[in-house]
Each structure stands twice: as structure tokens, then as C-alpha cells.
Structure 1
């Protein structure tokens, strides 16, 4: 009898929901001709407390669908989630990797992804009281982290291009692939400044410098949509991680960060502000604390600065479980409810992945937090859903996703970005480019390992999609010219075939050794609930980088150094290529290799791009976005340190092995005719001429640095302000012009205000931070 009565109640409830949904079609919030703010206010007025809190939840999404042949349906878990929590967002619905246990066989290809998004939207639109569409947030630092998408070089490789124009195209590609599959929010770019190479996430960043990071980040955000949500492929770009996450104590992910307020305003905040001005509509907090305050509970950063001063109009999302971290890791909240109240009060709108914000209903009812603060957060989410047009157009075309995701155009772009990133560090006696008639021994753990090309935050790949160095070289030479031997693994010392590698080297005319690191996740590695990998002694995978894999040293692991020394002993010309996510120790290679390159994690077309460079089809022009230390004992070592000038250590020079901005070419460039003219009292035009004086066509990256000779607060000895990557044919000369604006001369004074002080500034133009070719001075009166 009770069972029958309960069934009757369910029928009545479902009938009520359907009838209400039909009636709600006439409500003002459903009317697309009304102003967005009117629609937001109307919808907010009709929502229950539970429905409001639901809009601030962003649970994990990969268990929210079921694949049934060619169809995708909402899972029972999803239906229960909507019933119990009214969730307004999902994160990583399309994600596939060992952590999610989604493989090529069990995950979503682009067609199924589009169908999944449609199915989830249809369910919430038709089976909830108000029919509020979902936001689907996806990881996208160097491509959408989903099966069948295009994989570009990781962030550090993109920064090495020093080409905002190229990265803008990458942003457009990523945004389009996400939107074609039904996603809306792109997690990325990562704007953390990387000053400690021990840190596991250097690969995701744009390097050590605020100006380069800001320009590349701005270009990416503009490509992702630039904040214009009316564009069909515009995403909500999410800036990571707020703030100073990349300088954690001891280089350990999530540890406290130590930086003064002026340092934050001078270096760590400007890239975020530049990206927000470019249209970023989402900011993610970070796991670290600063000055005793968890960044996920920092009212100054998230409200006073971000909203009140910068007028940020988007929403703030916690990093995964970082609200729980206020209670469980930082121990500044004694309960989960207290942590939730602290986060929302500080300015965190969205709870990513966790349960913390489920406590907000009780907190509001008990007046522990005001209803107005909750309503403000909900309004920010609803406004962006209306602006994106999701209430009118929540669905996508699976056929279009099949046709246009990972198009030939985007594969070509991936190769172009990889080519542009490759950085030549040494080329003794012009060994490179290689002649195609040569017999090559290709050796090393990264010479033919597909996943080691890709970096962290990458989905499973079809084997034919990723090109290794072996693939790239075999496409250029006959099979009889190439002999490949792995030699050793990245980390595992249990097995190696160094003797076989030496035998192959002796049969060759030139040896190409591809070494370095890996962020490739596998199904043996254990993962934290945040998705970060756990390093343990039982599982020896190649992975030595990527989130959670912090290093105590920077040396090559396993038997890689032994392999290089054995290859050198053969007397054959030795080319060393590093595939890496952080600047690894290159001291031995710098002294002993005949040619040395770094390709970072070059993405799916990386092997082709590296072969293009080795055989002269592309003249390398990548430049280092970070300083390469001589020793971990120098860390942190970065070019724009404040005065005084560093002095040498007892054991070694204080200078890095390779400085920020460094990189060679197969040709040479001459700088001349520096000219400076005043436009206003605080702005100047600076010009110079660059001539290609070598025998190859090529690109040069011209870099302009400033130094304020005397100031009211200590300043860097050198600070990048502008740069330009330009192509010059043999013998060609071009004039390069830069505008030094008032902002370029500004500093953060003792009152934390940006001001321009009178004084003398050195203007330096060169090919790297330690290779200044032209210099003059300018007086600010």
C-alpha cells in the first residue's frame, strides 16, 4: 500500500514539473528579446534556495552519461544529481585519461561527445522546474582534453614561439573544438609565472616573465572568444591559478607561496589583468596560501582587487576541492560549512567538484552568510548563460563535430606551432641542418614514445595521430638510412640496451639522441582525488613531470646520462634533443653535444616538426621562455631579478646556463640604426633595423628591455617590455618599431600605486636578455 502511494506521489510530482515547465515558457526569463539583466532578475526571483545553490555546483561529469551503441543517454547518477542537487554545471564530462578510467574504447569521440552534451541538456531543460541549461566546463590548456581533438604543444612550448599571432590561432581552434562538442567553458590558459623548475606544472605555464606571459595569455583568450559570448565558438576562458601558484615553497605543488604585495602587483597580477581586459570571464583560485591566507579564501584578491578595482564581470571558480582544502589542508576553518562560508564571502562563486557548497543552504537559513552574497554569485552564472544564448540554443550538431574537430587545418596548425617553438641552444661547426644523404642512428627513450610527446592534461590517442621523432625522420629518409634503438627508459633502470645503441651509433654518420622527461599518465600510477599524480617507489613509469610530480633535482633520470656518455665515446657527431616539461639539467649536453635543442612537449605533430628542423625544412626560431639553471642550487634563477647584481657562488657562476630569451638560428642577424623619438613626454617610438646576414632564410625574435636607473623602490636590472618575431630572407633588411608607452615606464610605488617617476631609463634591444645589441637612454621629466 505504501509503495503504491509513493508511486502515485512520484507521478503527481513529475506531472507538476512538466506542467510548470510548460507554464514557465511564458515567463520573462524565457523571452530572448528582453535585456539580460531583466531575465536574470526574473529567474532569480523564481528560484528556491536549493536551486540557487545548485547553480554554484560544478560536479565531476564523466560518470553522467551512458553510451548505448550510437546513442548517449543521461546516466542514473546524473538524474539523481539533478534531483538531489539541481547542479548548474559539470566539469570534465568529456575528459578521458587513467584517472577517469575513460579509454578510447569507453570514452566519447567527438560525435558521441556532442550527443552526450545534447542528452544532458535535454534532460535538464525538460525535467527540471525552471529548465535552466547546464554549463559544461572542459580542461583545455593545450587543446581540449577529450578523445579525437587536436593536441598542441603545452603552454611552455607555446610561449617559446614568442608569437601571439600563432597562439591566437590556437585559441580559436581550441574554442571551436570545445563548442562543436557542446562544451562552453575552457580551463586555461595557465598564467602562473614559473620561477622554480622543480615545480611539477612548469609545462603548463608561459614561463618566468610577466610581459611574455601576458601577451601570450591575451592572445589565447582573444582566440578563445575574447569575452564576446555571442560568437558561435566563443568559450568562457578560465585563467589559472589565482595567485602566485608557481613559486610554491620547495617547488612542491600547493605549498605556501611567499611574495610581497608589491611583487604581486609588479609581476604576478599583470598577466591576469591583461587577460581579463582581453575578455576572460572566469578565474580559478589556487591551492596555495599566501601570508597565511588560502587563496580560495582571500577576500582582497577575489573581491577587493578582482571585482572592485578591476571590475571583473565573470565568475570565480575554486580549483578542484580547494574549498575543502580550507578546512582539511590549511586548517583555518574548523568545519566544512565554515570553509564554504569563507570561500563564498571571499568571492568564490563556483565549487568545483566538491560538496562544500551544499552547506550554504543551512548557512543562509542560520544567517551565517547573507542571501544577497549568494544571489550575487548565482546572478553572475545566470547572466553568462543568457549571454551565451543557452536558453534558446542549448544543442549542437554531432555531424558538424565529426567533420570539423581535429580538421586537417588544425593538424597543420599543431605542426606550425611545434616548429615555431623548437629552440636551438647549440650548433657547433654548423652541424645542423643535416644532409639527407646521411645515415642516422636515432637513439633514446623519447625518440619513439607517443605519449611522451604530449604533456599532462592529454586524452588517450589513436596511435596514428601522434608523430614521434622516428616517424618524422622516416618520412624524410629511406629505411636503410635510419637505425633506431631505444637505449634506456626515462626512469626505469631495470632494463636498458645501451650496448646495442652504441653499436648502432658506430654504424652511423650522425647520432640523434632524444632524451628528457615525460608527463605521460598511465593506468599503473595512483592519483589523488584532485587528479594529481602520486609519486611512489613501487610504480616506475616514465612520468617525472606533470601535476604532482615535483622534482628535487633537475638531472636526467634513469640511465639517460650513461647513454649520452656512451654515445659520445663513439666519436660520432652527437645531436641531443630534449623533450621536457621543465628546464632540465643540460650542463653535460652543453659541453659535449655537437648540437643541442629543446622541443618542450611538442604535441601530436612534434615528431614531424623536430624532423623539419633537423633537416632544414624549418629554420628554428624558438626562444627560451625561462632561464635554464646550471644547478638546482641556483633556484630560483630568473633574468629580471631586482638589484643588486648577483655575485658568483663558490662552486659556479650565478648566471644561468642559458638565459631567458635565448635561442639560435641557422642564419645570423645584424642589428643597427637604433633611433628613438618622443611622441609625448611619457611615450616614445623606438626603431632599429635587422638584417639577415647568413645563408638561410629565417626568423629573428627582437626583444626590447628597459631599466630604470634610479627609482623610489628597488627595480629589476632588466625587464622585457616588447618583442617581435619577424621573417627575413637572406640579405633582407627590415625596420622594427616599438612604442614605449607611459605604462612601460610605470612602477608600483611605496603606496602600491602605479606611477611614472622622473628619471633616466636604459633602452636595450637584443636577441636575448643577455645578448643586447643596441642601447640608448631616455629621460622622463
Structure 2
């Protein structure tokens, strides 16, 4: 009996083992089958199929979470040399299924992240890896995060390279250089775990009182478009899943840069034709270049907030331009539909208006959380509309390869961010951006052997005043100021006396008498004035990040530009004008260097100071670049991307005004002080022998313009040759002149080169009375020169037949 029982037991064991083995085999087969069924996890499946499969598996709440981009800097915890996810992060993932964060690695006074409390590049990579690992391992569907960062002139994080701000980038008139710069910025951001770079800013600006001019490429749609294309190509590269590129988010869609009264986010006064002709082309160019994301602006156009404007977000962006990325609000832009624009009574109504208009994602996350869920449940938003927005976001996560490779290499981030090569690149960008505006009597370049030099002014030795808005904290040793650049440049025997003189805004403290004494004792003076976008920890901020301007500040910061700091005038603030006039009265040769974020009133300087150099905000290597120009180691060739007005009473003043009655005022003429495209050199150039040929055949139109450009000086240098066009008589009012082509050309002393430009229907078109793009038959005038005012060559050509342009 016992033997029989034992035999049975043994048989049962063997049977169970066999069944377990079979079960294991079946389980493996089932898993293999499930791998085929779970399409979104299959890296070899088409992206659209993966998106469709994942959408089917998501709840309403999970979909809403994918459209909310929360502020990211509280999502990590730093403990000494280690970093991990915060409880805040765990809570929002569990409760809201968040799919995106913004500014996780940002450091500045608003975020309260300093050099001590913020993250090094190595720790940044560790932090983003920790965030990704948590969502991949602790959420139902394992959808990786999209992490967006501010990247307009460098990734706004600790340890990264700080380049010239955008207005300086535009002053290079060198798209190839800007593309190289954008590639460097993208790599630094991506290696730390970012996927999206906010930028470029493509706002056409006709209002210099507006606080954000420094973030733009100026007043001309063609120049802005060329810079935008360069930035998009540099950010995104040829493969967005390369591991060193980021998605480019275009800002701010649209007509944000010319607000009524200069008020940031104010009403845009533009009609449909001007919108298509002036404000939309840079965005169109960047979209055609492949941009994968775009941000709706805060303003309204003709009574419709951009965040809820289906004409912009659907008709123009998707139907006309074929945009294949995703759109996102500016921070708090959707709640602003209710609080600022007052076209929605509740937040869920604002959410419904925005997503129904085609706005995919919500930066800030206030609107596309419970409010959007409620709008869907109340049937004000269809599930199809929600799915379309979610699909736009998910598609990019798949395209970037984040489901397969959500993590970054920490060692690569530590090694490849803030490199010497990028520092040298920052110096190149800064040098090319510098505009020599005046050089009477060839005062510049100065001699390095000068015996006594006075360096004066509030911006001569202030690192943060040199860097612009959207800049992270910096160690002082990393930034080269103008004073430091000069000290490193001149002979050891040169005596340099530095006196600050005054602050940018503060009038309570000054050392003007000491500055005048230094000037009298010097052989020459370099005075560095202008403005500042440097934020400090005493400044208070709105929820959007814009600064709160206090009219009755006691301890006055230097900040007079940067987001939120709109101006009522363009005068030099504080005691700067007094300082300049008293220093000039000392009777020594004076060079004025401007470090600024917007064009300022320099009428007095233009009349009384022999040499003026505009460096905008030149970035971390700005001091070295300025010194190279001042002492002749670099021959300047920067050109103004925006006109410099004589008075705010002229505003708006821009070169490409439409044919109309534009005449002088009682007090002054109507021309700007310095025109668009202006910039001098230590070389001189001759333009000659212009030849224009027209090829008109069925389905083809091409105008070729050739001319000779010669450096007739003894100094090698760059010239920016500019081609402007006027359609002489048209069916609708068009611009008196419009930039159509340009080329930055290097010529050795005495060298001559033939320059050739091709004009295609895209360059010759106008928007006719029927709102159709056409090239009209008739006469055209070509103007070629060194600026919009300095035209050296003219020619005419005729088009015989109308050409439709798509």
C-alpha cells in the first residue's frame, strides 16, 4: 500500500512537472503572441500604427495627462551629490499621468535654483534618467516623458555654453554659423536628457519699447526666416532620434513682437494681408524646414486669442503648411483666455475653446487637467478631437525613439557640455554679431601699445548684464567681461584705469567725478553703457515667469529689458547720459560700446562720440570678442537687423514700409538714426558691374543677378552684400523695398569676387486683391548695397506674364 502510494505520488509529480513545462511553453508562446499584439511596444511597427494602438489602450485621464506640460524644476530632489525623483513628481504622475515637463533643468531666480542648489550636467543627466525610469517602471503603460527646455541662446541650465542673444545672432547675417551654434546647443541639452528646445523666437518686431526684442531676429521677415531655418536645422539635425538633437519649438505664433504700446502680450494691430506678408513667413519657412513644434502666443489678433484661433492653428498651420508636429500654449496661455482676454467664463470653457481650435498641449497644465476632462465628459470636446491632439504628442515620442531608449549617458553629459570647442564657437558668434556703427577718423582699431586707457561704465565689468534674459547662474570665472577682454589684449605696459561711473538705473550712487578724472588722465576712453536683462533674487515674478515691474523701487536693479520690462521711452536710464557727456567733455578720444537688449536713444552719442560699437548681449565670450574688435584682431562685419530710431515719436520705424505718404516731422526727419542692414568695417568695398538676366518659360521663372564685389583696402574683411527688391507698380500696396537675398562674403585685401543671386517666383510674389500669391507682370527694381540705405547698384527687369505661386 505504501509502495503504491509512493508510485502514485511520483507519477503525480512527474505529471505536474510535465504540465508546468507545457505551461511554460504555452506562456512563452503567449508572450510572443502578445508582443505582436502590443503594437506600440514593437519598435519595428510603423509609427502611426504604434500611436493608434497606444491610444486604444489609454483612459481619458491618461490622454489628458499626455497633453499637460508641468513646471519641472520641483520634480527632482538633490541630496548632496545624489539626485532622484521628488514626492511631488510621484504624486503628479500617479494623479494626473503627466506626459511632459518644462524647464526641469532650468536655473534662475524664478526657479530658486542656484549654482549650489541646481544641477551640474552630470547630475542633470542622472535626474532626467531617474524621472524616465520611474514612469517606465511605475506606470500602467510605460509612456516616456517629453522634457522641454529653454534654448534660445544656449540651454538655460548650469554648466552650459552661453551664446549671444538672438538679436546678436541675427546681426551676424550668417545662417551657417547660427546652424552650427544651434547644433551645439541641442547637443548640450539632449545629452542631459532634454528632448525639446524652446526656440527659435520668430517674432517680427516693430516695437522696440517691447521688452523681448533681444529674443528676436529683428524687423525683416526674410532675415528672420533664414535665421529660423538655420536654428531648426541645427536643433533637429537630419535624424531627430540621433541622441544629440532636440525638437525645435517655434515661438510665438504669431504677431507677438509688435504689440500696441509696447505692452508684452498686448494686442496685435495687423490685418490679414500684413499677417500673411510680414508675420507669418518666418514661421512658414521654419515649418517647411521641418520644425516639429510650435507655441501659440499670448496676444490676440482681431479679437481672437492666438491660443484659441483655428484659422492659425488649423487652416494656416496644418492645411496650408502641412505641419506634422504638435502645438503648445505659452505658459498659462489657455487660462489667460479667461483671465486676460475674457472670452471664456470658466477654465473648462477655455480648455474646450483651445483644443477645439487645434492647440494640442497645455504648458503649465492648469487647463488640460480636470478642466479638459470635464469638457470631454460634458461633450464640449469630442474624443476624436482629444485623440488627435494626443496622437500629435505621442507620434514625436515614437519618432525620437524614447520608448526604446528613454535614458541618456551620464558620462557623455559630464564630458560634452560646456566644452572648450563650444566656448570658441561662442566667441565666433559674438565676434560676428558686433556692429561697428560709427568710426569717425578711423579711431578704431586702437593700438595695443596705448599707454593709458580708461575703461568706464556700468556694463564694462558686469557678467550678468552681458548675458541677457533666459540665462542660468554662472560662475564669474566663466564669463569674460569687456574690461577683462581689454586687460588680456593690451600690452603689459598699458595702464588701465577702471571706474564704473554709475549703474544702469540707480541714481542714488555714482562715481562720475572719478570717471571724469580717469578719462582726463587717459590717452583714450572705452565707455560701456546700455541696458540689462539680468534678473536678481529680489525681483518678483508673475506665474508666467515675466517680471513684476515696480514703479517705486528703492533698491533699483539694473534690469530694464527682458520679459516683462517694457519701456515708455528708449533713453539711456539712470545717470548714463550724464556720465557719457561728462566723459566726452574731458576731451579725450572716446569709444562707446553698447551692451543692450533693445535699440536705445543714442542721438547725442551719434553726434558727439567718434566711435560706436554695438555688441547687444554678446554672451560668455563677449568681452574677448569686443576686445578683438576694439584692437583690430577681428574686423567687424555685423549688420543691424533692426532700425535704430531717433525718437519714440517715430515709432513704428522700419525700413520696409509700404508705399504711402511718409514725410518728415516738424522736429526731425522720418528716417531712423541707423537703418536696417547698417554696419561698418575696417575694410572698404566696391560694388560694380551689375547684370540681370530673366528666364521666362512655361512653368519656370528665374531672375539671375550678378555683380562684382571688391575689397579695395589693405585689410582683409567680411562684407554683407544685400539685395533689395521693389515691384514698381502693383495691384495692391507693397513695400518700397524688401530684402530678398544676402551673403556674408570674406575678401582678402584687394580681392574681387563675382556674387550671384537667384530670384524665383517665391521672391517676386505678392498677395493680390483676391488673397492669391502671384508674380504680377511689370517692372521690378533691384537695389544692391551695404545696407537698406547704402545702395550701391541699381538695375531693372521686366516680367511679361503672371505666375501663380503656391
Match of 1:716?
735
2:478 matches 1:465: yes
Q: Paired residue for 1:241?
A: 252
Shift of 1:679: 3.2
1:364 to 2:376 alignment: yes
TM-score by length of 1: 0.96
Out of 608, 614, 617, the position equivalent to 1:601 is 617
Asked if residue 544 in structure 1 is aligned to residue 560 in structure 2, the reply is: yes
- SS of 1:409's partner is helix
Q: Is this contact kept in 2: 1:227–1:279, CA < 8 A?
A: no
What is the number of equivalent residue pairs in this alignment? Answer: 762
Q: Following TM superposition, by how much is the alpha carbon of 1:24 offset from its aligned partner in structure 2, in angstroms?
A: 7.9
Residues of 2 paired with 1:24 and 1:411: CA distance?
A: 50
SS state at 1:678 partner: strand
1:518 to 522, 532, 542: 532
Q: Does 1:451 align with 2:470?
A: no
1:750 matched residue in structure 2:
769
Query: Is 1:411 matched up with 2:431?
Result: no
Give 3-state SS (helix, strand or coil) of 1:597's partner.
Answer: strand
Q: Give the match's secondary structure for 1:578.
A: strand
How far residue 683 of structure 1 moved from its aligned partner, in angstroms, is 1.2
Distance 2:721 2:328 in 1: 38
Farther off after superposition, 742-751 or 449-458? 742-751
Cα offsets for 1:203-225 (capped at 9, x unmatched): 00000000000001101110111
1:14 paired residue number? none
Cα distance in 2 for residues equivalent to 1:303 and 1:677: 40
SS at match of 1:529: coil
C-alpha separation between the residues in 2 aligned to 1:230 and 1:450? 36
Q: What is the rounded CA distance, in whole Å, between the counterparts of 2:31 and 2:246 in structure 1?
A: 28
Residue 352 of structure 1: aligned partner: 363
Alignment of 1:219-234 (within 5 A): 219-226=230-237, 228-234=239-245
RMSD (Å), alpha carbons: 1.3
From 86, 97, 110, the equivalent of 2:97 is: 86
The residue that corresponds to 1:644 in the other structure is 660
1:626 aligns with 2:642: yes
What are structure 1's unaligned runs of at least 5 residues?
1-19
Partner in structure 2 of residue 147 of structure 1: 158
- The 2-side partners of 1:34 and 1:315 are apart by 21
Alignment counterpart, residue 616 of structure 1, candidates 608, 632, 649: 632
State the shift of 1:553 in Å: 0.4
What is the aligned partner in structure 1 of residue 23 from structure 2?
none
Moved more, 120-129 or 219-228: 219-228
Please say if residues 760 and 779 of structure 1, whose CA atoms lie closer than 8 Å, have aligned partners that are also in contact: yes
Distance (whole Å) between structure 2 residues aligned to residue 48 and residue 479 of structure 1: 74
* 2:316 maps to 1:302: no
Measure, in 2, the Cα distance between the counterparts of 1:267 and 1:22. 56
- 1:765 corresponding residue in structure 2: 784
Which residue number corresponds to residue 17 of structure 2? none
**1:192 paired to 2:208:** no
What secondary structure is seen at the aligned counterpart in 2 of 1:699? Answer: strand
Cα separation, partners in 2 of 1:205 and 1:227, compared to 1, 3 Å: farther
Query: For residues 540-583 of structure 1, what are the alpha-carbon distances to aligned partners after superposition, in whole Å with 9 as ceiling and x for unaligned?
Result: 10000000000000000010000001101110001001101001
Deviates more, 1:451-460 or 1:675-684: 675-684
3-state DSSP of counterpart to 1:533:
coil
Alpha-carbon shift at residue 73 of structure 1 (Å): 0.7
8 Å contact 1:162–1:623 — kept in the other structure? yes
Report the alpha carbon displacement of residue 227 of structure 1 after superposing the two structures with TM.
6.8
> Over alpha carbons, which structure has the higher Rg?
2
Query: CA contact under 8 A between 2:307 and 2:354: conserved in structure 1?
Result: yes
Q: 1:666 and 2:682 equivalent?
A: yes
Deviation, 1:23, is: 11
- Say if 2:433 and 2:639, in contact at 8 Å, map to a contact too: yes
Tell me which residue corresponds to 1:4: none
Offset from partner CA, 1:509-555 (integer Å, 9 cap, x none): 00000000000000011111100011112241000000000000000
For residue 750 of structure 2, the aligned residue among 731, 734, 741 is 731
8 Å CA contact 1:199–1:251 kept in 2: the answer is yes
Give the deviation of 1:362 after TM superposition: 1.7
1:437 aligns with: 449
Contact kept in structure 2, 1:704 and 1:766, CA below 8 Å: yes
Give the equivalent residue in structure 1 for 2:107: 96
> Is the contact made by 1:227 and 1:281 (CA closer than 8 Å) also made in structure 2?
no
Q: Which of the numbers 685, 688, 706 marks the counterpart of 2:707? A: 688
| 2:10 counterpart residue number | none
SS at match of 1:415: helix
**Equivalent position to 2:56, from 42, 45, 59:** 45
Alignment of 1:49-68 (within 5 A): 49-68=60-79
Question: What is the CA-CA distance between 1:506 and the residue it aligns to?
Answer: 1.1
Q: Which whole-Å deviations, capped at 9, do the CAs of 1:605-643 have from their partners, x for residues lacking one?
A: 000000000000000000000000000110100000001
Distance, in Å, in 2 between the alignment partners of 1:379 and 1:702 is 45
Q: Which of 716, 731, 740 is the aligned partner of 2:759?
A: 740
Distance 2:201 2:596 in 1: 18
State whether residues 21 and 126 of structure 1, in contact with CA within 8 Å, keep that contact through their aligned partners in structure 2.
Answer: no
Conserved 8 A contact 2:453-2:494: no
- What's the CA shift string for 1:645-694, capped at 9, x where partnerless? 51000000100000000000011000011011223353111111111111
What aligned pairs does 1:105-124 form with structure 2 within 5 A after superposition?
Answer: 105-124=116-135
- Inter-partner Cα distance in structure 1 for 2:400 and 2:761: 36
Shift of 1:71: 2.0
TM-score by length of 2: 0.93
| CA distance in structure 2 between the aligned counterparts of 1:567 and 1:185, rounded to whole angstroms | 47
The Cα offsets for residues 572-602 of structure 1, whole Å up to 9 and x where unpaired, read as 0010011010010110110111100100000
Distance 1:134 1:227 in 2: 22
Secondary structure of the residue aligned to 1:392 is coil
Question: 1:43-93 CA deviation, whole Å, 9 max, x = no partner?
Answer: 110001100110000000000000123221100000000001000000000
In the TM superposition, what is the alpha-carbon distance from 1:230 to its structure 2 partner? 2.9
> Which of these residues, 122, 135, 151, is aligned with residue 146 of structure 2?
135
SS in 1 for 2:117: coil
**Residue of 595, 607, 610 corresponding to 1:591:** 607
User: C-alpha distance in 2, partners of 1:305/1:422?
Assistant: 36
Aligned equivalent of 1:261, options 272, 275, 292: 272
Q: Structure 1: how far apart are the matches of 2:33 and 2:574? A: 67
Matches within 5 A, 1:262-277: 262-277=273-288
Q: Distance in 2 between matches of 1:428 and 1:366?
A: 71
In 2, distance between residues paired with 1:505 and 1:131?
66
Choose from 493, 515, 521 the match for 1:507.
521
What secondary structure sits across from 1:245 in the alignment?
coil
Q: For the residues of structure 1 that align with 2:622 and 2:31, how far apart are their CA atoms?
A: 51
Q: Give, in angstroms, the shift of residue 232 of structure 1.
A: 2.5
Q: 1:341 aligns with which of 352, 365, 371?
A: 352
Looking at structure 2, the residues matched to 768 and 568 of structure 1 have their Cα atoms a distance apart, in angstroms, of: 29
Q: Which is further off, 228-237 or 33-42?
A: 228-237
Q: Which residue of 1 aligns with 2:394?
A: 382
**Residues 226, 234 of structure 1: 8 Å contact kept:** yes
Q: Which moved more, 1:693-702 or 1:113-122?
A: 693-702
